[in-house]
Structures are given as C-alpha cells and as structure tokens.
Chain A
Amino acid sequence: MRPDLVDLAYLLAAILFVIGLKGLTRPRTAVRGNMLGALAMLFAVVATMLHQDIISWTGLLIAMGVGSVLGVVLALKIEMTAMPQLVALFNGLGGGASVLVAGAWLSGKEFSEKLASGNGFMDALTATAASGLIGAITLSGSLVAFGKLQELKFVKDISFPGQRILNLLLALGSIGVGYLMVVQPENAQLWFWLLAITATTLGVFLVISIGGADMPVVIALLNSYSGLAASATGFVLNNNLLIIAGALVGASGLILTRIMCVAMNRSLWAVLFGKMQSGGTMLSDDEVYANVKSTSPEEVAMMLEVAQNVLIVPGYGMAVAQAQHTVRDLTNLLLKKDIAVNFGIHPVAGRMPGHMNVLLAEADIDYDRLKEMDEVNAMMDQVDVAIVLGANDVVNPSARTDPNSPIAGMPIIDVDKARTVIVVKRSLSPGFAGIANPLFAADNTMMLFGDGKQAISEVTKALNEG
C-alpha cells in the first residue's frame, strides 16, 4: 500500500480513538467507546501490515498471535481485585515495547542511511533518546509497582539514606548519556543501551520506596509515561498516529495523577520523593483509644433495622477481604426493607483510581449508588448509619481538626458527622499514614472487630433473622 494511503488509514484511526475516548465519559456509551478504540487499533495494524516496507508477514503474525493469546488469557483470568497489578503490568509492556522499537530503529536501515547521508537526524536522535528514557522508566517502574501490588516476596520497600541523591544522579546520568547519543551518532547504539540501563535503574529506585496508599498516584503517572513514550517513538518514526494516541494517553494519565494528588492533599513531588512527615503533637494510641466501644453483628443488625439511610464507605480492606459480594447481599437485603443505601467512594480508596467502583460493579451493585466524596459529605447529616469497611485514613477526622497531623488538609469522607458510625476492622492498627484515628473512639462510633467479609455476612444473617 502506498504510504499516503497508510497515512489516511492512520488519520481514520486517530479520529476513532478520539471518539472512543469520548464514549468513555458515560457508563452507557463506554462499552461502545472501548470497542471503537479496539477497532481503530485494528485499522492501524492492518494498514501498517500493508505498508510497502513490510517484506515478511509470517513472523509478524506468529508474534502477534503469541501476544494476543497471552493478553487475552491474562485479561480473562485476572480477579477484579488484582486489576491494579494487571494495569501496571500492561503499562510496563507498553513502555518496554517503546524502548525496543527505538533500539530497533537505531540498528535499522533508515538510521544507517541517515547516518551515511550525514544530516537531518538530530531531531530523530533526540526523540530516540526520549523514547528510551521514558520507556525504560515506565518498564522498570511498572514492574516494581506490579511486584508491590502482587506482594511478591522479593520486592521489598527499600529506602536508604542518600536515595534522593542517587535518583538525582541517575536522572542526570540518563540525560547526559542521552546527550552523548545525540552528539555522537556513530556510537548511538552503545549510548542508547547505556541510557536504557540507567533509566531502568532509575525507574526501580523511584518506585521501590513508594508505599501502598500512594500507589494510585504512581499507577496513574506510569500510565501517563507509557503514553509519552509512545509519543516519543512517534517522533522517531515520523508517525502522527503514535504521536496523537500517545499524547491522548499522556494527558489522561496526567489528569488522573493530578486528581489523586489533590485527593491526598500532597504534591506529586512529595509522593515521589518525600516521606510522610510525622506530626508535631501526636497523641499516643492509649490516649486516643481510651473510649473505644466494640459491638456485635446482632447489635449492628438492630441498628440497621431502624435506619432509613445507610452509607457504606469501602476501602482497600474490602478488596483484601474480597468482601464485595457479601456487601452486595447486605445492600440488597436493606433495599428490600426500604432502607436507602449509598456508597461513599473516596478518590484514593483502593490501589488505583476507580478501584472500588470496579469491585462494586463486579458485585452487581448499581453504579447510581456509588457517590463521590463531595456528594456524600453534603448529605452526611441525613445518614443514620455509616459503615466503614476497610477504609482508615480517608475517614480520619484529624485531617480536618488537627493542623499538625501528617494528613492535615486532606479531603476526607466526614462519616463522623453521621448519626452512628460502624467501623469494620480487624484491630485498632493504624492505616498507611501510621497515625491514630480519633474516629474509632468517637461517641457515635462503634467498632465491629473481625474480617470484613465474615463480619458483613454475620450482620446480614442477623438482619435476615431479626
């Protein structure tokens, strides 16, 4: 196929990508939007296969077959609770592909011709360096994030003195090597792989010290990087479609990163390089937890029986306990008794943006019941019973009341303003921020100790019998 026809097909694909993403703005049109995206990708791949430069198909078809099978198996087998890991893994693969493509371009025909002709490739080399740098950070960073989310034993939280300096040196080193690559095109391959190695190391050290609750930010940022890496590869290959698609993904990841940072009241810089600073006037656990009251499933059932408006606030603990299906049963039972049930979802609940929504959707809970933080906070005074299930820092009132708290200023779901609060939790252990939660000892709070899934199912049973 002639190159201009291929470019036309790419234009069509770019338009379909945009329309597809637009479809994702509403649950009703989202499935179709995703299909349009897939269709656009199919167009683009077929057009590329028909490009006049392609001399052999066999190997390509085999490689794509292998990739497709692996991708489909992963996509169909994965548990919904493990979605953050899968997204991290796919991110890493995309970043890795960008590095390999840039590397292949340097040893390919086009580059050797340009090198021989001696001009007009500095821009392409800069783009290759950028592609290698961003792609390699995405690859290793995502794989480390995957390891952490999957709780692989050999991926530990490592932080050591001088880590920031090491990261800075690695970053400067990568940029330096990239510069050498651009000014010494005859050694470009050597410098490129050296760059890939430094950037891979940088990616590992950037992500290895980041804690679980900061994962939503990291995943969103890496998502953005995988798009930018693809865009950079587009500059290498003079390919508009790569540039456009990559830029769309880059923008999407940046927006999500920003939303996550705002929801934690932390800057991106603090997430990537800082630690949670410990607060000035920290009360000991004994002082905070002097008046904790515990309750039983039967008592909770009685309170629910007379409630009119129930709010459930899920957190990562719900995912860990795989409690979403038991929550659905409880929800259905309450609805049958004409009790209103809503879910209050904090933007950073879980390990990736929207994690809780997917789990609750999997359990067949109507998405109209999943409310955003601002919406539930506005109606909190009408809530009779708020059930906090596996969430901690996102409902900690010290964010509002204690200006010295490490999480001061972070927007929270104000469950403490509901008439009664039930906190389902294994113990009084602190959340990710490592700070005590005065909510647990509040006058209107009762603790229901135990495993989330079991506790909710016992409440449901008691409510059914009562």
Chain B
Amino acid sequence: MRKNSPPNDSQLNEDEAPLSTPRRDFLARSGLMGAVAAISPMLLASSKSEASLLLSDSVIRDVFNAMTLDTFAGVSAFVLPGNDWHSISQGHFNLKKGAKAANTQQFLLDNLDNYLPWPKDIAGPILSEVARVFSNAAKPIPFGLALVLKPLETLILNKLDEYMDRLIDGSQTVPLGHVFSLILNVTATLVNPLAIGGSHLAPFSRLSFSEKAEVFKRLETGEPDLSELISLNLNEAQSEMFPTLMATFSRTLIQLTAFGALSEWHALDQTTRELTVRPIGWDLTQYLPNGNVEGWDDFLGYYQDRSQVDA
C-alpha cells in the first residue's frame, strides 16, 4: 500500500525509469502532456517529490478528461461546425452556433463512458495494440517537436503510463471516451505530424477539416493496413473483431455527435426532465418553433376520400 508521504529515493528512481520508445511516442502523440500542463500548470514548476504527490489518480483522470473533451470538441466542430474556435481553426465554420455550443463534447463523454457497453474483455488488449502499432507505424516525430524529456516530464509520462496500464489490464473500468480520444489523437498525428503541437489541447482538434476527414477515413476503412498491423498480438477472435470495432467506433462517434447536437440534451434538466432553455438544435433546424406540443393541426382528410379499404 502506498503511503501518502514524500517518496523515498527508490520510488523516485522507479518513477524516473524511462518508458519504452513506442509507448513514450504514443503518449506524446496522444496530447496528454499538453493536457497535464493545462490541468495542473503548477506541476511543471514543481519539484519531483511534490509532483509525484500532486499526480493523484483523480488528477490523471482529469487530465484524460480534459484531453478527451477537447478531442470531442474537435469532432463536434467537424460534424456540425459553428462560430466557435474549434470550427474556425479547422478552416470550416459559419456564423451560427454549432455542435460545440450545444456542449456535444460533454454529451459524447457522458454517453461513451457511462452507457456504451463495449466489451471489457477486449478494450484493454486493443488499446494496448493500438498504442504499439500506432507508435511503430508512425513516422518519427519531427525533430523540432520531439519531447526532450526532463526527469519531471518522465515522471508525468510514467504516471500517465501507469493509468494506461490499468486500462489495458482491466484492473480499472475502461472509460471509453478516453480510449476513443486516444485513438483519434494518435491517428491525427499520423495524418499530420505537426498536430503534436498547437493551439488546442488535442492533436485531433489541431487538424484542418479535410485532415479530420482523413482520420475518419483511416479508421473506417482500416487504411493503411491498420487491421493487419493490429492483429499481430491479438487472439484470433479479437483480431477478427478489430476492423469492425474501429469502423463501428468511427461511425458511432459521428452519428452520436449529430444526434446529440440536434437533440434537446444540453437544454434538458436531467432531474426534472424539463427544458431550461430552447435547444440550439431546434433553432438550427426550425423544429417546434413554439416549443413542444401535444398535437398539430395537420389533418387534411383522407387521400381520395378513402377512409377504409377492402381486402
């Protein structure tokens, strides 16, 4: 059991043990380091021992959540763009509110984490394979953007890695939003290696509109040879399932984004199940202009006055 006291030297050495290069690359590409800085800026100015204490499980989870929300904001802007920064920065926007204004990123996180019954037995192995393959298949991170890992950053990466391990080995329930965003972000850096750095937390959100489409294309079609690469360390049943899972993941994410963005979700008080404001999606689609009704005055009679037919 770990005590809540300053770590001793042996623990520090353990924390500083270097990660394998593929795993380090994977975590670097995932955008998680940027999320650490955003969630706990004081971490980067901390001593190693202070940082080790600060990096509790809840902080690590917050880091994953922040990165996931930003990734999903990028997805929201892709599916239903608006006048928000995520839409503008992808170069595809308009003057009206979009999915991001309807808080669709939170809708996705809530639904994927809490309700999507993905198979627990397979999420971990697949996540592990995705990490390995994406890292191995990737072009090297451009020199100017490579992480020069100082001891403190190594510590942070190791903490993130421990969390990943718990997801992979199944000792911790897999929040699927985290899995989905990891896959999107790492694929994003394969599409555009420069996405490893930039204005948003998540590499996916740094892509242009057409680059985002390329990410979904690769996931939906298994290009380039994704499923073949991934199959290496999976058993036969898992490997058979992988391309379908990726394609399903890709389509589900787009479909759920469109559905959530145009639904009442962001405007509904979940306790009273009454609207607190008019849903943005209803305005965008001119749906129910005067709010919900119990009926419409749209009865025009019967076609050719035929109100019943014989056999």
A is bound by B: no
Binding site for A on B (CB under 8 A): none
Binding site for B on A (CB under 8 A): none
